Amino acid sequence: MHLPTLSRFLFMSFLSLFSCSAPQGLSSLSAQDFSELLRQKPDLMLLDVRTPSEYAEGHLPNSVNVDVLAPDFERRAAEVLGSQRSVALYCRSGHRSKQAAAQLTRKGYTVYELSTGWMGWVEAALPTAR
């Protein structure tokens, strides 16, 4: 098989595999892509799913803190989101936001998740608030 054709085939196979691994209604984005999404959709609700103490140390501008580890996370998220069916969310490193995304996609929300979390956002030198 021709090398460029093989490379293209392997790349397309990887993309197919990767796209099948994310739950329907979930998009995991890099810090730069997440920033661009927030710029393009200024009315998109942004949830910080870290603990209140982590949120107090710094967060993304215009984010609302709803701790995914709280027993009433789904109820509180629904209150904050109101009638919105799309949400952007993040945590410290990406693990808890995946938990939150799984819960919210099961409830029918379209979720955009910052795959690198707060740490990736800060590393990319994107805007923060206190």
Burial of 93 (0-12, 13-18, 19+ CB in 10 A): middle
6 within domain boundaries: no
Residues 28-76 pLDDT 10s: 999 999 999 999 999 999 999 999 999 999 999 999 999 999 999 999 9
- Nearest by Cα to 35 from 121, 98, 96, 94: 121
Task: Read off the CATH number of the domain in which 84 is found.
Answer: 3.40.250.10
124, pLDDT greater than 50: yes
Instruction: Work out how many domains the chain is built from and give that number.
Output: 1
13 within domain boundaries: no
Distances (CA, A) of 119 to 18, 42, 50, 73: 23, 22, 12, 22
For residue 38, give both structure tokens. Answer: 């927030």
The pLDDT value recorded for residue 4 is 59
Distances (CA, A) of 47 to 19, 21, 51, 60, 67: 24, 23, 12, 9, 9
**pLDDT exceeding 90 applies to what percent of the chain?**
82
Q: Which residues participate in catalysis according to the annotation?
A: 91
49 within domain boundaries: yes
- First-to-last C-alpha distance (Å) of the chain: 56
The residue segments making up the domain with residue 94 are 23-123
16 within domain boundaries: no
The pLDDT value recorded for residue 119 is 98
58 within domain boundaries: yes
89, pLDDT greater than 80: yes
15 within domain boundaries: no
